[in-house]
Structure 1
Amino acid sequence: MTDELTNEEVALTVSASTAPPQETPQEAAPRSRGADTRALTQVLFGQLKELQPGTPEHNRVRTALIEANLPLVRYAAARFRSRNEPMEDVIQVGTIGLINAIDRFDPDRGVQFPTFAMPTVVGEIKRYFRDNVRTVHVPRRLHELWVQVNGATEDLTTAFGRTPTTAEIAQRLRITEDEVLSCIEAGRSYHATSLEAAQEGDGLPGLLDRLGYEDPALDGVEHRDLVRHLLVQLPEREQRILLLRYYSNLTQSQISAELGVSQMHVSRLLARSFQRLRSANRIDA
């Protein structure tokens, strides 16, 4: 054997060194499935074109088209994972958009079906979020403006390296600051937060604790109303004695001097008033 290479061996060596690296089976599998789906879709649309709508064969081919392109719907639905909506519901809505795209697609125009169908699927999902998911329904104009405010906020954040102010967003979109604030409020209407939700992870008190507090004077409202109702059942002189004693804070001696009666008589009248009030109080009874 010689150390010199034959022409065939040189050619094989050069070919091996310049050939692109081969794909692994894991990398080639998605590409192959996508190509198979596009080829199958093209064949099925060719068959669908020749069939009469409403016939069993037409429905069968149409159903096969829907099933073959469901991965397109799942891909579009994945873009909305951050909305915290059940993914099954989003996929169902996207499937409606897929069906509409299949019914409107014309293969003779030379456009790939995924290119044609994707805007329809995404548009159907966006309409679903716009019209059904919001806790508070907002006008369509305000919703569309909110999308612009969202985009402008991202652009200005990238440009300034910080969160833009309301005035900067308004200047960018040539709208008023009040409209920007309204759009921000509209963007918060996707989800409602329970007042009785558990405490947040950052250690802050729950929403109910932050919105207000229990006024201690509320307990006295019912009691004052009850006392007022009971007092009117007493004779006028006994009402006056109670008011002088507990509203004007006079002593029994001062009350006796005020009314011109003995202190012992004032004490008896107070005791009798208390007895009447207790007997008339249905709560204690």
Structure 2
Amino acid sequence: MAFVAHSSMSRPQASEPMPLPQVDPSSVKPCDARELNKLFFDRLQTLEEGTHDYQYARNTLIEMNLSLVQFAAKRFRNRGDGQLEDIIQVGTIGLIKAIDRFDLSREVEFTSFAIPYIVGEIKRFFRDTSWAVHVPRRLQELRTTLARTREQLAGEFGREATVAELTAHLGISEQDVIEGLIAGNGYTAGSLEAPITGREPGKGAHSCAETIGTPDVGMELAENLHALAPLLRELGEREQAIISMRFGEEMTQAQIGERLGLSQMHISRILSRTLAKLRAGLLTES
């Protein structure tokens, strides 16, 4: 068993608990870890949280059992090496939660108790970070269930299962099945800069972004003019002329006044009154 006791330490009194052995967690063999786990967990339950001895016992348990995180992480190695470090980190969080919640009185091996915590934390990490867009957890879990069911039924039927068949097999509503299938589209996202395939030779590559339309600023103007047409016809002859000169010919109020023999102030009042009338008419129409 890999531990070193201080020889200078005085013999404890009978009423005092034995001091914890000084352990090098990296040198602890698997065959020794089981007994050391029991020893440290037993003492951890009697130590006051926040004390030096408590932190030593807790940290030693964490370091001695990091091999459990490595073991659990191997189940997810097909997710890509780029995420291995993240997997180890979140798996360690699961290990710490297991240590803080473990109770020797349950007579359960710590290994059996800790693995579900570690794996659960890793799965939660993938569930929260793997989706390209945020999807409610209910739909994430439904997508997984639908994927398994579709694969199973495809093997039985020799074809893709219909929505009705999925509904009957899972015992859920058709609306839930449809929502789950749609939610699956949010798992991955393609780049707008990805080239479009299947173009004619010599045409050159275009990205998806180039095919997406943008709002036409002229559409709103066209709609407004179409709505204004009947309102303009209801105006008097002089009001129509002033509107035409001001907005059609882009004349100033002073120039309009000179042409009609009216003051600029008079033209301004007519314009204000006419525009208010047109604005009220548009609001009524909408």
For this structure pair, what is the TM-score category when the shorter chain's length is used for normalisation?
Answer: 0.5 to 0.7
Aligned match of 1:137: 134
Cα deviation per residue 1:42-78 (whole Å; 9 max; x = unaligned)? 3332332343222111111211111122222233233
Separation of aligned partners in 2, 1:74 and 1:205: 45
Aligned match of 2:147: 150
> Percent of pairs identical after alignment?
45
Structure 1 pair 87–40 and aligned structure 2 pair: CA distance change class (3 A): same
Give the Å deviation of 1:82. 4.7
Which structure dedicates a bigger proportion of its chain to helix? 1
Give the Å deviation of 1:212. 4.8
Separation of aligned partners in 2, 1:103 and 1:113: 11
* 2:44 corresponds to 1:41: no
* 2:90 corresponds to 1:93: yes
Structure 1 pair 213–181 and aligned structure 2 pair: CA distance change class (3 A): same
- Once the two structures are superposed, the pairs formed by residues 183-222 of structure 1 within 5 Å of their partners are 183-196=180-193, 198-199=194-195, 207-208=208-209, 212=212
Aligned match of 2:103: 106
Give unpaired runs (5+ residues) of structure 1.
1-31, 222-231, 235-285
Give the Å deviation of 1:102. 0.3
- Once the two structures are superposed, the pairs formed by residues 38-77 of structure 1 within 5 Å of their partners are 38-77=34-73
What secondary structure is seen at the aligned counterpart in 1 of 2:100?
helix
Give the Å deviation of 1:33. 5.3
Work out which of the residue numbers 160, 164, 175 in structure 2 matches 1:167: 164
Give the Å deviation of 1:100. 0.8
Structure 1 pair 100–175 and aligned structure 2 pair: CA distance change class (3 A): same
Give unpaired runs (5+ residues) of structure 2.
1-27, 200-204, 220-247, 251-286
Aligned match of 2:122: 125
Aligned match of 1:240: none
TM-score by length of 1: 0.53
What secondary structure is seen at the aligned counterpart in 1 of 2:184?
helix
What letter is aligned with 1:59?
Answer: Q
What letter is aligned with 2:56?
Answer: R
Separation of aligned partners in 2, 1:59 and 1:90: 25
When the two chains are superposed, the root-mean-square deviation of aligned CA atoms in Å is: 4.0
Separation of aligned partners in 1, 2:58 and 2:187: 35
What secondary structure is seen at the aligned counterpart in 2 of 1:86?
helix
Separation of aligned partners in 1, 2:105 and 2:52: 24
What secondary structure is seen at the aligned counterpart in 1 of 2:53?
helix
Give the Å deviation of 1:140. 2.8
- Work out the number of aligned pairs and report it: 195
Separation of aligned partners in 1, 2:164 and 2:207: 32
Aligned match of 2:278: none
Give the Å deviation of 1:132. 4.5
Separation of aligned partners in 1, 2:166 and 2:152: 10
TM-score by length of 2: 0.53
Separation of aligned partners in 2, 1:200 and 1:83: 28
Separation of aligned partners in 2, 1:113 and 1:202: 57
What secondary structure is seen at the aligned counterpart in 2 of 1:121?
helix
Separation of aligned partners in 1, 2:103 and 2:197: 53
Aligned match of 2:75: 79
